[in-house]
Amino acid sequence: MRLFLLLFALLCSAPAAFAGKTILVIGDSLSAGYGIRPEQAWPALLGKRLAEKRFDYSVANLSISGETTAGGRSRLLPALKQHQPAIVIIALGANDGLRGLSLAQMRDNLKAMNDAARTAGARVMLVGMRLPPNYGPYAAEFERNYAELAANGKSTFLPFLLEPVAAQAAYFQADNLHPTAAAQPLILDHVWASLQPLLK
Residue 50: which residues within 8 A CB-CB, separation 6 or more? 23, 57, 58, 59, 199
* Distance, CA of 176 to CA of 69 (rounded, Å): 22
DSSP assignment letter at 36: S
* Residue type for position 103: L
* Enzyme catalytic residues: 29, 175, 178
**Greatest pairwise CA separation for the chain in angstroms:** 76
User: 3-state class of 191 per DSSP?
Assistant: helix
